[in-house]
Amino acid sequence: MAARLPHVVSWIIDSGATEHITCDDINLFNIISPAWEPSVKIPNGESIPVHVVGSLYLPNGFHLERVLYIPKFQCNLLSVSRLTSDLNCTFTFFPDSCILQDVPSRKLIGVGKFRNGLYYLECPKNEAVAMSVTSNLWHQRLGHASDGKLHHISSLKGFHRCNNFCDPCVRAKQTRLPFSTSAIKTTRCFEMIHCDIWGPYRCDSISGARYFLSIVDDFTRGVWVYLMKNKSIVPQFLIQFCNMVNTQFEQKVKRIRTDNGVEFQTNILFDYYKRSGILLETSCTDTPQQNGVVERKHRHILEVARALRFQSGLPIDFWGECILTVVYIINRLPSPIISNKSPFEMLF
């Protein structure tokens, strides 16, 4: 984890403030939305503009919702009324300090110090935003990844873990493929690739796509996805992929495993297979298990894409962009089948 900076961020505990206000770095915001308050009037009568409204995690674990970001403000204000309502806690004030307690458990969750006539909640400021967020936020940022995957990301070790219920995960991941896990049968990148087509979807993506082509490398489990308006352009994308492998990785695809889809058995592709020395392996009719690697990858991609869309509230026609985002994420997450390395590590 990143080292901490030597100074602290002080929050004034203000019983008269109706909203949390910060003048600190906007990068600390986890979620940023347009300002719903055009300006805030300060005690001297001056009105100063609100730039944005968002939520943030303090390093001590407090999650502050609806925080006003005002760069021209001279301090950070912590609203007592908002905090007691949002965190279900109580404040008790003493001559030299104040304490925050969780109402149900009566557990001490924070301490403020009295200084120059004010009570301050002091939080060590970290150099990296990663230090101030919980596992739930990383779970959402990394495509609703499991705790097991997060545990193997070294830069996230030691962060605060929360086991909150994740509604998008439950809604998006209600089914599982019955296929058993396939062992890796190759010894180098692109010795064999698994290909399959998914679609048509019930509506066009914003780019007009109804299908997508998935290509999975057997050795690294890296995945590439191409959005398509129709299946007829499969040969174009498959040849384009093989050329990319040859140029960027100085490797040649030796075998291609697919189902019995006619899109992989066109005259154009048969001629390309012959010229390139590529062997085509097809599964038996009505036996998708024989193409299980890419079938499972489809299910993984679709589940995570649904979770991302549910979490973000994006319109349905952004499904294609969600798919591409998911592929970017899972190529960078550790996988147990490749010794908890990521496909990106294996490839580069």
pLDDT of residue 151: 64
pLDDT recorded at residue 125: 55
Q: What is the CATH number of the domain that holds 25?
A: 2.40.70.10
Number of H helices, E strands in the chain: 9, 17
Same domain for 77 and 209, yes or no, is no
190 and 58 together in one domain = no
Q: Which residues of the chain have pLDDT under 50?
A: 1-7, 127-132, 157-160, 176-179
Is the separation of the CB atoms in 52 and 32 below 8 Å? yes
CATH number at residue 201: 3.30.420.10
Set 14, 24, 217, 259: catalytic member:
14
81 & 213 share domain: no
pTM (whole model) above 0.75: no
As a whole number of angstroms, the distance between CA 168 and CA 304 comes to 9
Structural domains of the chain, count = 2
- Is residue 259 among the annotated active site residues? no
Q: What is the largest CA-CA distance in the chain?
A: 86
Instruction: Give the C-alpha separation, 252 to 68, whole Å.
Output: 55
Same domain as 313, residue 188: yes
Q: Are residues 103 and 209 in the same domain?
A: no
- Indicate whether 188 and 331 sit together in one domain: yes
340 and 204 co-located in one domain: yes
Domain region containing 270: 184-347
Length of the chain equals 348
pLDDT at 42: 73
